[in-house]
Amino acid sequence: MSKVILDSKAFQNTIDKISKDIFNENKNVNKLAVVGVQKKGVFLAKKILASVVKLANINETQIPFGTLDITLYRDDLDNFDQNMPVIKDTVVPFDMNCKNIILIDDVLYTGRTVRAALNVLMNFGRPESIQLAVLVDRGFRELPIEAKYVGVKYKSKEFIKVECEEMDGIDKVTVSYKK
């Protein structure tokens, strides 16, 4: 049994809200860079970047874009046995020093993915700031990590599934309840 948290229209409205908040807090877009956490965070980051570019009325290439894979920085690698996650690309093709990095992921839960992403980012330089943006904050943190930009807060220990049009054919967020 599942429940839709965001349909495609609400999904887009949420992307627009996050983008507007980011733009309003970061008027100097020359210092801005956007980095998405593999895999759904990358799709969301591209959507948010496009929206911020539109708000700023600039060329998309003016805001650097990167992707992070946190797999090798996870603190639970010993739990996977032979079903290791597939390692994806980490691409940060810009100088991160003195940039305001907008780190984007789909769901914030325990905070462990963000902790790993911060470790990866620090290997690329010393940004002026790192601001976290998430589509869904589901609460129940295990680490003292909070997002600056949150699309929707939906406190749940149940599985939250983010679907992105680029990968799943539709933009949608659902929560799955066990029977």
Among 102, 103, 109, residue whose Cα is nearest residue 159: 109
Tokens of 16: 């627009």
Q: What is the mean pLDDT of the chain?
A: 92
**Which domains are seen in the chain, by residue range?**
7-76+86-156 (3.40.50.2020)
Distance CA 78, CA 46 (A): 32
Inter-residue contact 115 to 52 (CB < 8 Å): no
Supply the pLDDT for residue 145. Answer: 97
Read off the pLDDT of residues 80-111 as tens digits, 9 standing for 90 and up.
566 666 778 899 999 999 999 999 999 999 99
Contact 38, 68 (CB under 8 A): yes
Confidence label for 77 from pLDDT (cuts 50, 70 and 90): low
